[in-house]
Structure 1
Amino acid sequence: MMLGAAALPLAARSAQAAADFMGAGQGRFFRFTLGAFEVTQLLAGVETLKNPHALFAADLEDEAFTTLTKAAHLPTGRARSFLIPTLVNTGKALVLIDTGRDPVGVVGALEAAGYLIEDIDIVALTHMHADHIGGLMGPNGPTFPNARIICGKMEYDAWDEAGDEAFDTNMLPLAAKIEVLSDGGDVVPGITAMEAFGHTLGHMVYRVENDGQTLLVAGDALAHHVFSFAHYEIAMAEDEDGPRAVKTRTELLKMLAETGVVLAGYHLPWPGLGFVAQSESGFTYVPHSYQLSWEEAPDEEPR
């Protein structure tokens, strides 16, 4: 009797303590060190994509696609795409790589991470698709008033010749601030552009290196954490030059697997950081767990 009587107030308190559902939540930035550099991943947006089969793996038979997605616990009819610019603080320059689809997302993430738009010294671009350059210009002008804009020469020339709404809106007004470079050119000491053509005609990736530690900021060369790895030999629907994109993807995956270099993927699951493993059947994406945030006091002993 005493137990039952005591349980009643507890049940009543539990019912009264029920909280409202809060909905999904997500941090806006993830920061780690790379040698003496500080790197911050910024969540500028999350988008839902329709028909991932056609988008990422059109050459894959229906049954094989379904088997692959189910093995990865993914829905077959839609995909989630993250927009993750990378911010590198070298100690002498603050370099933002890509900008999201609009200023709202990237500015909000920067503010959450403790930065002002005026702090950005350089914006380096992997390519000119709208979800990478859309944060450059706002209704009142340039989003980053003090920044120089750096991009690949071939990429700039291709879009300048072809014409495109996103390019015309976000790049042409900044023409006086734009600097172009080619394969092997340095954005600043420690950040080097590398050609990774195919997704677009002049797509670049950036190698960030300091004190023996290396990060590859891959843009859209590796766009999905399952399909781009398990079936790297299949071009994406948005690859402008499919065979060249496959060649680039294959070379990058081999390099990443052989060297253990950290991968920053713009559209990979937040925070877009991981490694590449190779087996006889192909490649696998290995998400970052605690490797990049390992902090240990000099005299700390494992338990």
Structure 2
Amino acid sequence: MTFLMKRRTLFGAGAAGVLTAPGLWGGFAMAEESTGTGAASGGGAFRTLKLGSFKVTVISDGTRASGNPHETFGTNQPSEAVAALLAENFLPTGAFVTGFSPTLVDTGSDLVLFDTGFGEGGREAGMGQLARGIRAAGYAPEQISVVVITHMHGDHIGGLTEGGKPAFANARYVTGQVEYDFWKDTARVGTPAENGHKAVLEKVVPLAEKTTFIADGAEVVPGISAIAAFGHSPGHMIYRLESEGQTLILTADTANHYVLSLQRPDWEVRFDMDKAAAAATRKNVFDMVATDRLPFMGYHMPFPAVGFVERKDTGYRFVPVSYQFDI
């Protein structure tokens, strides 16, 4: 199955640091290689897809149920509007579920992990399942050669360490320079970002000597490149995977809910640190995804977190993968 892409640029420079990404687009074909729950190994759910010569495995770190959707999504809208959109999409109006899905990419030369979930700190609540999922998918944490951190919120960096030691003993690390500089800065002390600052000091700073700090357009390994998509956090990055002319976009936290963030990209989200920039990034990224019929993987999309979007009213409708990669 081939998805043709016409544009060569992700988006032009825009508000609050939304940067360009020349040379992004090519053809895409992705076929499902295997699916499993990992139950036999005591691990989390995973799904593996083939991208050219790459093997892409999406792993569930767990899910979390929360109440009062309006307190998180559409915070600048009447609560009735949020409830109405949820009801229109056959979803409960008083609660929502968030999934957390790190991605493992086997390039043949490198084993690259994108984000690390909650780690041991999330296990009491049923999360922190990444390591089990990695093993269930047929790998071991010590095999991972590169760990990429899209941004430094706790559900992305919590699994960097285990028992006070690096969870991926043989890995080097890659993350955005802007993101790291923001969270490391002692100016965060006494602000709402102080807890994030402390988490970065604990989880990320000790790994700095093994970390490459990158900017927009940087290559992580051959076939994987970074794209600045600021707003959700000050240095939030998304990534382009390309192998044998086939492409998949890892959108990280550009959208945090498959209905509330995509169908209404202008609606403010509590976790977006620069809400105007985050909304601009959502529209730029998913307008391109819709126009060029691109597959994407979103960290908080319903597992296995891979799908497409089409335009719907003032936003986009999420179309999850089904059997199109089975034939």
1:44-93 CA-partner distances (Å, limit 9, x unpaired): 11111232112011122232222211122212222111110011111110
Q: Please report the RMSD computed on the Cα atoms of aligned residues, expressed in angstroms.
A: 1.6
Aligned to 2:28: none
In the alignment, the residues of structure 1 paired with residue 177 and residue 137 of structure 2 have an alpha-carbon distance, to the nearest angstrom, of 31
Preserved contact between residue 43 and residue 133 of structure 2 (Cα < 8 Å):
no
Equivalent in 72, 83, 89 of residue 72 of structure 1: 89
Q: What pairs with 1:239-278 in structure 2 (closer than 5 Å)?
A: 239-278=272-311
- Using CA pairs below 8 Å that are at least 6 residues apart, which structure has the higher relative contact order? 2
In the alignment, the residues of structure 1 paired with residue 176 and residue 314 of structure 2 have an alpha-carbon distance, to the nearest angstrom, of 34
Structure 1 stretch displaced more, 188-197 or 45-54: 45-54
TM-score normalized by structure 2? Answer: 0.79
Aligned to 2:8: none
The Cα shift of 1:26 comes to 9.8
Equivalent in 41, 46, 49 of residue 32 of structure 1: 49
The Cα shift of 1:158 comes to 0.5
In the alignment, the residues of structure 1 paired with residue 210 and residue 241 of structure 2 have an alpha-carbon distance, to the nearest angstrom, of 23
Preserved contact between residue 295 and residue 306 of structure 2 (Cα < 8 Å):
yes
Equivalent in 76, 82, 99 of residue 59 of structure 1: 76
In the alignment, the residues of structure 2 paired with residue 166 and residue 49 of structure 1 have an alpha-carbon distance, to the nearest angstrom, of 23
Preserved contact between residue 137 and residue 169 of structure 1 (Cα < 8 Å):
no
Number of aligned residue pairs: give it. 270
TM-score normalized by structure 1? Answer: 0.86
The residue matched to 1:202 in structure 2 has which SS? coil
In the alignment, the residues of structure 2 paired with residue 64 and residue 26 of structure 1 have an alpha-carbon distance, to the nearest angstrom, of 39
Preserved contact between residue 35 and residue 213 of structure 1 (Cα < 8 Å):
yes
In the alignment, the residues of structure 1 paired with residue 312 and residue 97 of structure 2 have an alpha-carbon distance, to the nearest angstrom, of 26
The Cα shift of 1:280 comes to 4.3
Preserved contact between residue 44 and residue 59 of structure 2 (Cα < 8 Å):
no
Unaligned runs of 5+ in 1: 1-24, 296-303
In the alignment, the residues of structure 2 paired with residue 205 and residue 112 of structure 1 have an alpha-carbon distance, to the nearest angstrom, of 26
The Cα shift of 1:165 comes to 2.2
1:13-62 CA-partner distances (Å, limit 9, x unpaired): xxxxxxxxxxxx99611001011111000011111123211201112223
Aligned to 2:152: 128
Q: What pairs with 1:177-196 in structure 2 (closer than 5 Å)?
A: 177-196=210-229
Aligned to 2:183: 159
Cα 1:131–1:170, aligned 2, differ >3 Å: closer, same or farther?
A: same
Aligned to 1:12: none
Runs of 4+ residues over 6 Å off in structure 1: none
Preserved contact between residue 150 and residue 238 of structure 2 (Cα < 8 Å):
yes
Cα 1:27–1:290, aligned 2, differ >3 Å: closer, same or farther?
A: farther
Equivalent in 247, 271, 292 of residue 238 of structure 1: 271
Going by fraction, where is helix more abundant, 1 or 2?
1
